[in-house]
Structure formats: C-alpha cells, structure tokens
Chains A and B, each alone.
Chain A
C-alpha cells in the first residue's frame, strides 16, 4: 500500500511542466516505497516461515519434556527369565550445613531421637567444623525422612540418591557382587560390567535362572548343615552353549548390606577357589586315552600292585588287586589304572589335552573373582602320574565343569558365560574330542551312577551320569588327612546331555547315616541327584523310562572283567 505510486489524475487537467525539484521528490518517494515494500516482504516471508515450518533454533518445549524419561541411574540386572536381580531405587540422604545451624548440640540430640543408630559424639564433632556440607546419614527410609522433616531443624536438607537393591538378597550374591555407597561396582558382575551398567538404561540379562539357583543353594546348604562342612560350591551349566544357569558358593552374603559383609563370605569357591579335584579328573584321563586311540573299552591294566615312584606310593582306595578293564578302572576309580593310562598316552600329550579343554588357563567368565589354576612348573612324569587322578594340579570348579561339559556334549568346547545369549543364536564351539569318544565317556559316567560310586546321584527318569571326587585338602606342603574336599560332577540326561551339574562340600564330616564316610559319593552325589530331580522339570528336560530297551541299549557297556575268558555285559 505504501509502495503504491501516488495517484495523479491525468485527464482532468493538462499536465503542467514538472519542475526538477518535484522530479527529485518523486524518485525519492519511489525508492523509499520500494525499500519499505522489500522490508514488508521479508517480514511476510519470515512470518510464513515461523508459523508453517519447524526450525531447529526454535525451543521445543513439548518435546523437551516428553524426552525426559525415567532415569533410574544404574541399569537393572535380570535373570534369564526377566526376574529382577538388581535395581536402583531412589532414596533420600540427610546432610547438614553447620554454618546455618543454630544450636548444634540441640540438633544432634533431636536427631538421635529419630535416628537411634547415630553416633552422637562423632556427628557433633563433624558439625562443629566450619564447613558447609556434611553427610549425616545416607539412604534414609521414607519414614525416617518424614520424621527428620517433622523435627524442623534449620540447616538440614536431603539429597536424592540412588541405592542398589537386590530383591533376591543372598540368592545370587557371588555372581552379582555388590556396589559401594556411591554405586560403584565392587565385585562380581557389578564390577565387571561397571561402566556398561552406569552408562545404559538397557538391562543386563544374565544366563542365571533363579529357580535353579535356589534349588542348588538350598540343597547345598542342607548338605553343609548335615555334614558340618565349612562351605560348598555348586554349578549348573548348559553343555550346548556354555551358559551358566546356576552358580552358588556358600557361605554367601546379603549384597543389600555391603558394609556388613563378613570377609570370609566374600570368597567365591566356585570360580576363585582352586582345588585339587581328585578322581573327577579321571574323566579327562580316560577321554584322552580313548580319543588318542591308546586304549579301547576292552583293554585294561594290571592294578594288582601299588605304584612306587621316588618317595610316593600310589594305591587304590577301592583296591581290587587284579587286572581291571577300562570301564572297571573308571567305575572303581582306580588310581593305578589311571596312572598307567596317562603314561601310555604320554606326558606332553596330557599337557596339550588339558590345555585344549581350558584347564591350564583362568576361566574366561565375566566376573572379577577368578582363580588362576596352580600348574606344576615343570611337567615331569611324576606330575603326569598324579594329575591323571586329579592331584598336583589345582583348578576352580568352573574350569572342571566346562571341561566335563566338553567331554559329554559330543566333544565341543564352549566358552563359559554368565550372560544370556540371544535366543536363536548358534554358539560356536571348538572340537576337542571326537563324538565317538564323547559317547563312550557318557556310557562310563552312566555306569558310575548306575552301578558304581555315584549311585546316590541318581534321579529316576533323568538318566544321570557322573563321577565322584574326594581329595584331601592341601595345607602348606602336606595333605590334611581329615580335611576333605568332596565333590561330584554329573550330567543329564546321559543319552543326550543338556546340563552339567557340579556340587562340592568343603571339609565335610561323616555321619552315622553315611557310616562315617565323607567322600564325594556320600556327601556330594546326593546333592546333585536332588538338584537334578528339582530342576529338570523346570528346564524342560523330559523324563524317560530308564528301563526302556532303547535307553538300555544306548547306555549298555561291556565290562570285561578278565583279560580273557568270561565277559560281563552290563546294561543300565
């Protein structure tokens, strides 16, 4: 409108001659008009732009609020079925600013009526300093917060903090670990994945199943009580992918109260403790000899006389004093036979075999409490002899479980893990023994439970197989005669193994019921049997008729009792 040319009626009047000053005025007006119209165009353009298009510089109020989702701080930890194992809850922490406090003594006295466990003298001392920020008590309960507020003492205030909460308390304490008061992971998964848990809101899903965890913990605890042991350990592992579904070490602690943890309960016997495993090592010796083709199931060794090496004498616990076939050596747990078998295979070969199945390296699981195995510095013949029956080499139960898993699952070594693998993913393993050898090892393990030292591990219907192990504990440079480490390692179902189950009791004492025995077969085997009976239905393992002809055929084993002549066909 302003840019419009001034209207000059032309027709009515004749145009007078235009003086130059008017000409100048007109052209100035024209320029001004053009400038104004340009300015208005810009304004119009901007207006359209602002109203119709969204620009980045524009504050997005509505979006900025909806993006502020719930920040729970440290990420949750879940079990394999999405049960909450660890979470962070908001709590209030009480602090004081002594500079604005009117009467410190009075304030402390009043606080003590609400917070009875407050150390009055210490708090009074702290409040007398010339500072503006002093923690009085961290993580108050909502009731305590209300009561402190009710006192109305000036200079007190709260700060919102997070507190790590473990709803299942001690159930998975060693694997989860715990955090300190500032939510830094100090042990277990909390420590190993500290950065990841701090950063993310995405929960961490473990391979642990709390039901399995509970079954194992309960059975171990009752065995410790019954045999007056000082501790215990138990592991359940999926042999088809290396996922650990249950891992328990006793005594355990409540991670909710990190300040009240007794030092000796922190010790994780399942992964940090290394022990001489005893006869369970014969699984490896036998598998190695069978796989190398040095012996067949029909071969055997003369176990009539104990073996003397320098100052040692190696004898059998259940001595038969005759020729024993390979299945018999395994069933009667003959040390003499195992030594001869290992020497037949060779000393470097034994070392290489144990290396292959992860015995000589610390277990690669995702917690910080991992014990390094104690291996002889020089692997001589005498070492090979004792290692063949599980002495002179200490490993953690975790390593044993992984090794045995590889022996029974068809011969594939899987790296153990505490983290659930995404469903549908195939695990890559490494072949360590042939499928045929693995199948024979399974028959041998079944033989031990059906007819040998591991009868108490049987869980009707689940075709349990396994091997007992009893070792005297080493104290300094000698063995403690009365202090045993009694263990049992089993797997089920033996025709197509799904899980390895391990149980170990530390320093058990025999009872009347066990005729004073505190060996693996009396103490640990029943734990494994009971655990399997409880967890198999939960894990979806179908019970079979152990007496069905097909199963009997699969588990049948030819025990050659004599070098030549009569053979006994055992079928279980």
Chain B
C-alpha cells in the first residue's frame, strides 16, 4: 500500500515538474511574442507620427489653394454663393404633381431608372 502511494506521489511530482517547465517556457515565449508585438506597435506608432507630420506638411493651406485652383478650378467661397435656407421658397403647390413632363423628370434627382445614362467606359 505504501509503495503504491509513493509511486503515485512520485508520478504526480514528476508530472507537476514537467508541467511547470512546459508552462514556464510557454509563458516565456509568449512574453517574447508580446515584446515583439509591442516593439512593432511602437515602430508603427512612430511611423504614424512621421506620417502625421508629412500629412500636415502636404496640407499646408498654400499648397491646397494652389492645387485646388490648378486641378479643380476652385477658389474661395463668395458671399453670393451662399444662401440662407429660410430664403429658399417652398415648391409651389401643384407644380409637377400629376404629370411628369420630360423636362421635369430630366431635371429631377434622382433620375428615373430608364433615364440613367449608360456609364461611359
């Protein structure tokens, strides 16, 4: 009886020992992974930091104004281009209610399905 108990305890101790070592190495390798991931995160953060600086360099108002004028033909908004929403009159009652003439539907948005122009290639 005593012998059997001893064998049991010895096995248990061995198993616990092996388990502990396996666990230890696993934790260690995971910690290594964590450190690697972390340093990668830091690297990326640093890259983001540099990119932010570059982004604001590219977003200099003078440059945007130049590009807007040259490529988009956009300029500063004039007062005459804005209108108060309260100044826009309501659509007169009865206008375009019943029959939809061709010109009406051509000007309305979104266009009816059959009037969507085919996409150019």
Interface residues of A (CB under 8 A from B): 61-62, 65-66, 68-70, 72, 83-85, 87, 89-90, 165, 167-169, 171, 210-211, 213-215, 218, 459-462, 533-534, 536-537, 542-543
Contacts and interface: CB of A to CB of B under 8 A. Distances in A.
Contact of A84 (B38, B56, B61): B56
A213 B31 CA distance: 50
A460 B61 contact: no
Contact of B53 (A61, A89, A460, A534): A89
A543 B79 contact: yes
B82 A543 contact: yes
Given A87-B52, A536-B79, A70 B60 contact: no
User: Which secondary structure dominates where chain A touches chain B?
Assistant: mixed
A500 B49 CA distance: 36
A407 to B, nearest CB: 25
Contact of B34 (A65, A213, A462): A65
B107 to A, nearest CB: 27
Given A84-B56, A210-B61, A218-B62, A70 B76 contact: no
Contacts of B78: 533
Nearest to A87: B53
Nearest to B87: A545
Q: Give the most central of A72, A89, A167, A214: most B CB within 10 Å.
A: A167
Nearest to A61: B31
Given A70-B45, A167-B60, A84 B52 contact: yes
B59 A83 contact: yes
Contact of B82 (A66, A211, A537): A537
B45 to A, nearest CB: 4
A69 B45 CA distance: 9
Contacts of A215: 61, 76
User: Which secondary structure dominates where chain B touches chain A?
Assistant: helix
A204 to B, nearest CB: 15
A98 to B, nearest CB: 32
Nearest to B43: A70
A65 B65 CA distance: 44
Interface of B: 31, 34-35, 38, 42, 45-46, 49-50, 52-57, 59-62, 65, 76-80, 82, 84
Q: Give the most central of A68, A90, A168: most B CB within 10 Å.
A: A168
Contacts of A536: 79
Nearest to B60: A168
A78 to B, nearest CB: 9
A533 B34 contact: no
Contact of B79 (A165, A167, A214, A462): A462
A61 B29 CA distance: 12
Contacts of B59: 83, 167
B31 to A, nearest CB: 6
Given A62-B34, A171-B62, A533-B76, 11 more contacts: A62-B31, A65-B34, A65-B38, A66-B34, A89-B50, A167-B54, A168-B60, A214-B60, A218-B62, A460-B80, A543-B79
Contacts of B52: 84, 87
B61 A171 contact: yes
B19 to A, nearest CB: 13
A163 to B, nearest CB: 11
A120 to B, nearest CB: 32
Contact of B62 (A69, A90, A214, A537): A214
A537 B83 CA distance: 12
29 contacts: A66-B38, A68-B42, A69-B42, A70-B46, A72-B49, A83-B59, A85-B56, A87-B49, A87-B52, A87-B53, A89-B53, A90-B46, A165-B53, A167-B56, A167-B57, A167-B59, A169-B60, A214-B60, A218-B62, A459-B79, A460-B79, A460-B80, A462-B79, A534-B76, A536-B79, A537-B76, A537-B82, A542-B84, A543-B80
Nearest to B46: A70
Given A70-B42, A536-B79, A167 B34 contact: no
Contacts of B77: 537
Given A70-B42, A70-B46, A167 B82 contact: no
Nearest to A67: B38
